[in-house]
């Protein structure tokens, strides 16, 4: 038999109109915009043709990438690395990042070897201190001749609670004929971040809210071993499951 108090709660919830259905809960994707961008260049002169020298082209509309070589004691151009920083305070606190991608586009795209590395700093302004910012290691890949790119980054680095507020991403491309990462207001690189939404205990119909509709399912299974309504997994739907449902009443948690 259904307890009279449970039935009363059901009737009251129905009378209060608690059957409104919000958006379905699930993974949430947010975009983190570029904070600043710049280009690390080498001196281009012997004996330091390919050594780090200075940061230039700060917040220019495109950021160059190219390799550096020497021949016969002469510099064959200078090396250019593209740097982009992101303010991670855009990401809500306490959520878990399931995946994260660096998304952008290039001018004069070329097929070549490349690499990406990530680091974290307490500030995002471009400067020579960025040269040693890539403390999470470097990953190599191959650039294609496509304009748009999407590069997977390691979410574990971003989920580390001890990381600093700003992420710094460095992109490289081999070869003397380089490409340019677009960095304008409308086409600058961004981080596409997929956030995991925590489970919603008591949301039996998976509509993103715990309300009287879920209470109806629980009452229908009262006293049984219904695995969906048995929220604490003790083998029977009873007052303990009702308590769990009421403690999570309302909209499901999310970012």
The CA distance from 168 to 135, in Å, is 10
β-partners of residue 34 are 86
Expressed as residue numbers, the domain containing 59 is: 28-196
Q: What is the pTM of this model?
A: 0.70
Q: Which residue has the tokens 């190599």?
A: 140
Q: Which of 154, 171, 196 is the last residue of a domain?
A: 196
Question: pLDDT, tens digit, for every residue of 147-158?
Answer: 999 999 999 999
For residues 179 and 69, which has the higher predicted lDDT (pLDDT)? 179
Segment 229-245, tens digit of pLDDT: 998 888 899 988 898 89
**204 and 192 share a domain?**
no
Q: What is the pLDDT of residues 161-206, one digit of tens each?
A: 899 999 999 999 998 888 999 999 999 999 999 988 777 888 999 8
Q: Give the confidence band of 49 by pLDDT, cuts at 50, 70, 90.
A: confident
75 shares its domain with 192: yes
Model confidence at 24, pLDDT cuts 50, 70, 90, reads very low
Could you tell me if 20 and 37 lie in one domain?
no
Domain total in the chain: 2
Residue 215: which CATH number? 1.10.1330.10
Q: Helix 212-220 and helix 239-247: axis angle, to 10°?
A: 170
CATH number of the domain bearing residue 117: 2.60.120
Tally Cβ neighbours within 10 Å of residue 73.
7
pLDDT at 83: 96
Q: What was the pLDDT predicted at 196?
A: 83
pLDDT in tens, 70-121: 777 777 778 899 999 999 998 877 788 999 999 999 999 999 999 999 999 9
Strand ranges inside 88-243, DSSP E: 96-107, 112-121, 138-143, 148-153, 166-173, 179-182, 190-196, 209-210
On whether both 166 and 224 belong to a single domain, the answer is no
pLDDT of amino acid 181? 98
Report the distance separating Cα 7 and Cα 3, nearest Å: 6
Q: What is the mean pLDDT of residues 122-127?
A: 91
| Residues 98-136 as b or e (16 or more Cβ within 10 Å = b) | ebbbbebbbeebbebebbbbbbbbebbebeeebeebbeb
d(CA 255, CA 45): 51
Q: What is the mean pLDDT of the chain?
A: 85
pLDDT computed for residue 186 by the predictor: 93
Percent of the chain clearing pLDDT 90 (strictly above): 52
Using CA atoms, how far apart are residues 5 and 66, in angstroms rounded to an integer? 73
Which of the four pLDDT bands, split at 50, 70 and 90, describes residue 254? Answer: low
Distance in angstroms (rounded) separating the CA atoms of residues 106 and 191: 16
Same domain, yes or no: 76 and 153: yes
| Final residue of a structural domain among 166, 181, 196 | 196
Structure tokens at 8: 């009363």
Q: Are residues 125 and 220 in the same domain?
A: no
């Amino acid at each position: 038999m259904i307890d009279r108090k449970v039935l009363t709660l059901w009737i009251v919830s129905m009378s209060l109109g608690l059957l409104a259905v919000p958006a379905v809960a699930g993974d949430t994707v947010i975009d983190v915009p570029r904070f600043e961008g710049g280009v690390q260049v080498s001196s281009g002169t012997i004996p330091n043709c390919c050594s780090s020298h200075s940061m230039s082209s700060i917040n220019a509309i495109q950021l160059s990438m190219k390799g550096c070589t020497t021949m016969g004691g002469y510099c064959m151009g200078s090396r250019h690395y593209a740097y982009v920083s992101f303010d991670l305070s855009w990401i809500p606190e306490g959520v878990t990042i399931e995946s994260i991608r660096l998304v952008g586009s290039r001018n004069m795209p070329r097929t070549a070897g490349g690499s990406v590395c990530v680091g974290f700093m307490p500030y995002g302004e471009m400067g020579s201190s960025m040269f040693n910012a890539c403390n999470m290691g470097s990953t190599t890949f191959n650039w294609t001749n496509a304009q748009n790119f999407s590069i997977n980054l390691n979410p574990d680095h971003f989920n580390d609670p001890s990381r600093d507020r700003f992420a710094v991403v460095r992109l490289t491309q081999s070869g003397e004929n380089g490409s340019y990462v677009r960095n304008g207001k409308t086409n600058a690189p961004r981080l596409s971040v997929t956030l995991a939404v925590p489970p919603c205990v008591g949301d039996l119909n998976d509509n993103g809210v715990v309300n009287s509709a879920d209470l109806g399912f629980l009452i229908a299974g009262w006293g049984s071993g219904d695995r969906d309504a048995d929220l604490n997994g003790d083998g029977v739907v009873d007052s303990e499951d009702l308590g769990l449902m009421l403690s999570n009443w309302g909209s499901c948690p999310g970012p």
